[in-house]
Structure 1
Amino acid sequence: MRQRIAVVGGGPAGLTFARVLHRHGCPVTVLERDPAPDARPPGGTLDLHEGLGQLALEKAGLSAEFRKLSRPEGQAMRILDLDGTVLRDWPARPDERANPEIDRGHLRDLLLGPLDVQWGRDVTRVVPGEGRGGGALIRFADGRQETFDLVVGADGAWSRTRPAVSPVTPHYTGVNAVETSLDDVDNRHPDLARVIGDGSVAAYGVNRSLVAQRNSGGHVKVYARFRAPLDWHTDLEPGDAEAVRSSLLALFDGWAAPVLDLLRHGTAFVHRPLHVLPVSHTWAHVPGVTLMGDAAHLMPPLGAGANLAMLEGAELAESLAACPEDPDGTVRAFEERMWARASKWAQITTAGLERLVSPDPTEALAVFDQVH
């Protein structure tokens, strides 16, 4: 009898897992809390690495489609001093495929393909040992419940699946982040477009940074990061863009006009404080339930998380398809591999965040000099 497998979460990890299982003819149920694919903005852009995210797409049979959608030019990187002087400028080579960018929305649509996602399925709890032969029971916000032989939690930082295997919750890093956007930047803000270039532009000060990153279609995401208490914004109305803008401009006071214009022209502001799980987060294996991606190893958003999550999804799917007679043994082996690799990347990204939002801005410059 075929295993009943469910993945909770329709992000890069869950969809890659489902897409690879689908490629191998294995049924899987995808449970996503959002009511529809376009229920909320999909987010910014991702650089998919060779050997990680790109390998996952290869396992899903989607490499050719990815190449059509990705933007190798998005790998360009420019660093400015606080007075607007260009300190470093690394253009992307047109034939460079190491870490091409792709919009999250484009990646989501690529992975969705033929998948039958159950939208609007808000999981509230996963109970191990309640399924057939020791699987798991999923409880939903609408009162329904359903059992599966294997439940894979790919439901992000505040996972509803995680408590089934681990009591650990994310903790605040001390770094706050606020995201804003610029639309049609080439036509509406041509001077800023020249400052940003083809990929990303960044400036680093004492305990704060400002990064702008091109998406497709002239859309730019801007990220302000700074060390502050978690509740620094409690006096601001969430929907009062002008109040948030004024507060940010005060935080970055003294920076050059071309840098501050990234905030002055932002259209909306979203508060995203950075939380992480412990660097070496593991758990005692629980039959019928496992985790992947941010649900398993939430780390600073420095380019590794989504790549790891996608590869984990692809690898677990391939392993389950290859060894249907021992799914529990397959999951145990997967967890051991995931923990070892994720711990290494969590150490790298944790150290990276310390240097990129540092009392000494030269630390940030040194990070980029090491990788270019």
Structure 2
Amino acid sequence: MDFWKRAQELKDEITQNRRHIHQSAEVGLNLPNTKAFVMEKLREYGLKPTECGHGVTATLGKPGKTLLLRADMDALPMPEESGEPFACPTGETAHACGHDMHTAMLLTAAKMLKENEDALCGTVKLMFQPAEETFEGAHDMLENGLLENPPVDAALAYHVAAGKSPVGFVMYNDSGVMMASVDGFEITVHGHGSHGANPNLAIDPINVGVHIHLALQELIARESDPTKTCVLTIGQFMAGTAANIIPDTAVLRGTIRTNDKKARALLVRRMRETAERTAAVYNATVEIRTLSEVCPLVCDKSVTDDMLRYMGALNIPNFTPYGGISATGSEDFALVAERVPSAMMYLGAGYMDERGQYTAHNPKVVFNEGVLPIGAACMAHCAVEWLKENA
């Protein structure tokens, strides 16, 4: 089958699926409407989907090597200001990272593979996962046997890139860390509240939290290896109910990102020590909770090079591979790549006009739907060719 030609024939269907998912954006582990839609479509295409943890999986083909194809399904808890007529109407959730695109592409890839199932020299396993944004979904599915029955030999995933990344661009890394690790944390500062007019009678958790925030920044400035990528960000600081009340507690939530195992271990350990010791200086205590733990995403060179070769044979217009990509963003597909040889690539889905000024996680981001048949064709074609060469 000419998957590129077939994907173009199915462009209206891919687009319709994408817009349905986009309009019904859901967040986190529990995605009842999105999951039901995915399972309904898979059945319509002739597959037999099953639940895997909070996600969905299905297999097709015949016994042999197994290639996993992955898409994430969750959105972000934010308003949408894209101006698209199919924007999510709730005003509270938005597919501002493109996961609706990923799901639509994998659905169409599944349809085409089912149409061409006799040509498969092994098994294709589909992974539709929730909660990538909270770094829970891949872990959830792995714990529920994703890589078993049948055992997975390799995996492939794509992520669309908005902004000024034109359709046809393919960005990858086959020789190092493609995306950083992520360690999310929550620091609850326990102090002692009082009237705002009598700070001497309080242990002010806001004051303690401010000093913890400042001290944590020094871990990057003075303790991290400057040749490594190291980021420590506090994204939430919550405390108090009124201007004249010193509260009992304050909460800081943040994230650590690195591209190096030693740097990661150092920062996680020193974050805890710094928070505890800084609080002790001001007679407060802290409670530290881990929110997420995901290793850096390292793609397998052999699998990545093979997938790029297969993609190049599709004769996609403006196909332009661009290597050496490394980002401080994180991906829980890294947990799959840690266990089986894997490839993940960015597919250009942006615009070169004014629509390209907004990137992922911006409420105004707009994704170019011209990438949809490209992603679907690449997934299906790569699966057929990889299984053929590794039979």
The TM-score, its normalising length taken from structure 1, stands at 0.34
Which one scores higher on RCO, CA 8 angstroms, separation ≥ 6? 2
The structure number with the bigger radius of gyration is 2
The TM-score, its normalising length taken from structure 2, stands at 0.33
